[in-house]
């Protein structure tokens, strides 16, 4: 599907505003918290060798209400990684890490604070006076995370209850703040997936029905495109990029060059080394929408391929995408989204990102 620029391919092979509409149902069960990282995806066909199935996990999300998607600094991302890795070391499912990271986002913005309300300190703003530990202990991110998980697993039904209810049960905030954890779920999911493994993907399930009666989730929805303006920072507008992708239909010479294709559709080139590198930048920059199956036209759709490079395609609207290597190696095709997730390649959907590309002059084929 794609390759990494300026690097040899080690494994050969074949062939404006984001939508904030959500509903409020619970997610399906993800295990009792003691069953390891969760089930991997079904067997897929990849262009190369299969990766360790333990890295092919799904991170379940059930976002409620408008989501905050801020930029996270390197230090904040490291703290999220620590919280996530403590969950892994305890054999907890990814859902536990999502709850914990979202809680820390609300309590401390993922900063290991030595001050807070009353005697609250650390990532979770835990209080020595309430038995969480000494100041030295609860400003240690590993210790603080362990203490959070100790209480989390005592919450009945934590795997399936709304995140904000579970977090509030553990943290016991003032009543007016009990719903504040909800807005961090999508961002927490993206950071957890990034730490859990190269091939971990988020998957939204809200227990609700889409307009066409299909269950929400990793499967592409055929619902009407959201009536929202896509936020874009690129030399070309989303409409111009869609027209450029349409002109490229049937064009050859794009074998394993998915990232270059979407960059050139937006009028630039050589910005990211691979689709996965682009996705990680979008997650860190706060312009990724992990697991969201309602992308606006012009959005960039990202997929896990089981390889280091990943895959990205340009969403044209009406459930159609422009992508390379789908029907013919190296050729651009206009296909349904399900051709990527349910066709020959069986890709795993990560989510969509807003196009953010600097002007980078150079030859452009489209």
Instruction: Tell me which CATH homologous superfamily contains domain 238-353.
Output: endopeptidase domain like (from Nostoc punctiforme) (3.90.1720.10)
Residues whose CB is less than 8 angstroms from the CB of residue 82 and which lie 6 or more positions away in sequence, other chains included: 141, 142, 145
pLDDT of amino acid 71: 87
Span 124-136, mean pLDDT? Answer: 92
Residues whose CB is less than 8 angstroms from the CB of residue 273 and which lie 6 or more positions away in sequence, other chains included: 4, 5, 6, 7, 259
Most confident listed range (19-28, 110-119, 164-173, 195-204): 164-173
**Ranges 180-184, 200-204, 210-214: which has the least confidence:** 210-214
Q: What is the DSSP letter of 183?
A: G
User: pTM here?
Assistant: 0.62
Q: In what order do the strands lie in the sheet with 311-317?
A: 288-290, 348-353, 300-304, 311-317, 320-324, 332-336
SS3 175: helix
Q: How confident is the model at residue 212 (pLDDT cuts 50, 70, 90)?
A: very low
Q: How confident is the model at residue 158 (pLDDT cuts 50, 70, 90)?
A: very high
CATH number, domain 58-196: 1.10.530
Mean per-residue pLDDT of the chain: 78
Q: How confident is the model at residue 30 (pLDDT cuts 50, 70, 90)?
A: very low
Q: Contact at 8 Å (CB) between 102 and 180?
A: no
Q: Name the packing angle between helices 74-89 and 94-108 (round to 10°).
A: 140
Q: How confident is the model at residue 1 (pLDDT cuts 50, 70, 90)?
A: low
User: Could you tell me where the DSSP H helices lie in the chain?
Assistant: 74-89, 94-108, 135-138, 141-152, 163-171, 185-196, 238-247, 258-265, 275-285, 338-341
Q: How confident is the model at residue 7 (pLDDT cuts 50, 70, 90)?
A: very low
- Hey, what are 301's tokens? 């759709």
Domain with CATH 3.90.1720.10 in the chain: 238-353
Domain with CATH 1.10.530 in the chain: 58-196
Q: Name the packing angle between helices 94-108 and 141-152 (round to 10°).
A: 120
pLDDT of amino acid 252: 95
Span 142-153, mean pLDDT? Answer: 95
């Amino acid at each position: 599907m794609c390759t990494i620029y300026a690097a040899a391919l080690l494994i050969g092979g074949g062939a404006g505003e984001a939508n904030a509409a959500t509903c409020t149902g619970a997610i399906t069960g993800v295990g009792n918290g003691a069953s390891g990282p969760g089930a991997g995806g079904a067997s897929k066909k990849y262009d190369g060798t299969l990766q360790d199935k333990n890295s092919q996990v799904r991170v379940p999300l059930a976002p409620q209400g408008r989501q905050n998607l801020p930029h996270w600094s390197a230090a904040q991302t490291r703290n999220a990684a620590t919280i996530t890795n403590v969950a892994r070391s305890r054999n907890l499912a990814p859902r536990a890490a999502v709850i914990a990271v979202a809680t820390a986002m609300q309590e401390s913005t993922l900063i290991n604070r030595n001050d807070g309300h009353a005697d609250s300190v650390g990532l979770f703003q835990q209080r020595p006076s309430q038995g969480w530990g000494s100041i030295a202990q609860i400003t240690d991110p590993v210790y603080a995370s362990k203490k959070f998980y100790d209480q989390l697993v005592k919450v009945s039904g934590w795997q399936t209850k709304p995140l904000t209810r579970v977090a509030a049960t553990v943290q016991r905030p003032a009543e007016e703040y009990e719903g504040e954890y909800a807005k961090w779920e999508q961002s927490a999911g993206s950071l957890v997936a990034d730490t859990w493994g190269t091939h971990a993907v988020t998957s939204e399930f809200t227990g609700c029905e889409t307009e066409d009666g299909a269950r929400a989730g990793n499967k592409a929805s055929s619902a009407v495109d959201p009536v929202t303006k896509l936020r874009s920072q690129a030399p070309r507008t989303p409409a111009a990029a869609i027209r450029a992708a349409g002109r490229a239909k049937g064009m050859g010479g794009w074998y394993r060059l998915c990232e270059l294709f979407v960059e050139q559709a937006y009028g630039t080139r050589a910005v990211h080394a691979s689709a996965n590198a682009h996705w990680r930048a979008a997650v860190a920059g706060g312009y990724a929408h992990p697991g969201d199956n309602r992308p606006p036209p012009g959005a960039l759709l990202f997929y896990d391929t089981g390889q280091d490079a990943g895959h990205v395609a340009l969403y044209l609207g009406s459930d159609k995408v422009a992508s390379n290597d789908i029907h013919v190696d190296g050729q651009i095709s206009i296909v349904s989204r399900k051709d990527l997730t349910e066709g020959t390649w069986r890709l795993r959907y990560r989510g969509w990102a807003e196009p953010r590309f600097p002007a980078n002059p150079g030859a452009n084929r489209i």
